[in-house]
Amino acid sequence: MVTTTTDPVFLLFFALVALVAFACLVYGVRELQFANHVLRSRPDSVLETTQGGPVELRGTATSAGGTLRSPFTDTPCLAYEYEVEEEYSTKNGTSWRTIDSGDRYVPFRLEDGSGSVLIEPPGASFRLTAEDRVTVKGGTTPPAEIQRFIDATEDVDCQNTSVDLRVFELRTGSDRRFTERRLDVDEEVHVLGTARYDTTISRGTGEVNAAVGIDEAALSDSRWVRIRHRLFGYPFVISDRSERSLGLRAALVGGSAVVGGLLLVAFAALFFA
């Protein structure tokens, strides 16, 4: 089949493939750079955060004055991500689709033995391990914590439904999977971010006059400054993984994205040749 390069559909499809390939390659390279940095560097001391600029820290996450309660297990924590999945039928059996997700966090402190520094989470990329997963069968009563979550969330309805067939009761609700990932109080945490000197933050012994958060360039009024930071700026990551696990996972994800982007480029070269 011969397609002319002036065909609008052809041009649109080509542009779409090129855009997806470019996005995969950029994302993959960024993840590989992140993996290389994490695996090769050593964490900075909390005391160095007063100098400002990019820092990599590892220590214990402690409360800065407040905690959260996780949505599905009611566990005290400093940050959480959640995901609600619903089972559905396909031609090849069953699969799961996400019907709701979200996150919450509070400021917390990172202690590494030399001192403690305030971590300000807004804008962070959380890379947390799955702490708990609760599966609720359709037509059954969910645990109390999950029922409270359902009652408070418009996008998630109750699947405790059934049809009375007199001889037996047929459950009609869909199976649901409720997953939460948490940063627990006193858990080991790895943080990469941008430090700033601030004399108003320290209130107790061992607390340094600094805070770690997102780079100001990411919040710039200029779109081009924000784009440049997204492509080349220092990341802001909060993770409860070990240093090795964090780096290797980023390498796996980044490598997969690069391979996917290159395959798209190869496909485009063959198809549009």
Of 269, 199, 249, 260, which Cα lies nearest the Cα of 27?
Answer: 260
Structural domain for 12, as ranges:
1-41+242-273
Q: Are residues 23 and 46 in the same domain?
A: no
Task: Please report, in tens digits, the pLDDT of each residue of the chain (273 residues total).
Answer: 444 556 777 778 778 888 999 999 999 999 999 999 999 999 999 999 999 999 999 999 999 989 999 999 999 999 999 999 998 888 888 899 999 999 999 999 999 989 999 999 999 999 998 778 999 888 788 889 999 998 888 888 776 555 555 555 545 578 889 999 999 999 999 999 999 999 998 888 899 999 999 998 888 889 999 888 888 889 999 999 999 999 999 999 999 999 999 998 888 777 766
Residue 2 has what pLDDT?
Answer: 46
E strand map for the chain: 53-63, 68-69, 76-90, 93-105, 108-111, 116-119, 125-127, 130-136, 162-164, 169-171, 176-184, 188-197, 207-213, 237-239
| Contact (CB, 8 A) for 109 and 238 | no
Residue 91, burial from CB neighbour count under 10 angstroms (0-12, 13-18, 19+) = exposed
In Å, what is the CA distance from 78 to each residue of 16, 145, 168, 196, 244?
Answer: 40, 18, 46, 21, 23
Residues 132 and 73 in one domain: yes
Secondary structure percentages of the chain, helix, strand, coil, to 5: 35, 35, 30
Question: Residues 101, 141: one domain?
Answer: yes
* pLDDT at res. 1: 45
Q: Are residues 68 and 172 part of one domain?
A: yes
Burial 154-190 (b: 16+ CB within 10 A, else e): eebeebbeeeeeeeeeebebbbbebbbbbbbbeebbb
Give the distance from CA 114 to its chain's centroid.
Answer: 29
Does residue 181 sit in the same domain as residue 262? no
Tokens of 268: 């485009």
User: Do both 140 and 8 map to the same domain?
Assistant: no
What whole-number distance in Å separates Cα of residue 9 and Cα of residue 76? 53
Q: Are 169 and 175 in contact (CB under 8 A)?
A: no
In angstroms, the CA 100 to CA 166 distance is: 35
Do 60 and 137 fall within a single domain?
yes
Whether residue 35 is found in the same domain as residue 47: no
Q: 0.75 cut: is pTM over it?
A: yes
* 163, 217: one domain: yes
Compute how many other C-beta atoms are within 10 angstroms of the C-beta atom of residue 2.
Answer: 3
* Domain shared by 37 and 85, yes or no: no
The angle, 0 to 180 degrees and rounded to 10, between the axes of the packed helices 243-271 and 8-40 is: 160
Nearest C-alpha neighbor of 210 from the set 120, 112, 79, 78: 120
Q: Distance (Å, rounded) from C-alpha 17 to C-alpha 267?
A: 9
In angstroms, the CA 201 to CA 208 distance is: 8
Q: Do 216 and 258 sit in the same domain of this protein? A: no
Residue 184 and residue 216 in one domain: yes
The whole-angstrom separation of Cα 252 and Cα 236 is 19
Domains held by the chain: number? 2
Residue 187 confidence (pLDDT): 95
Residue 263: what pLDDT? 92
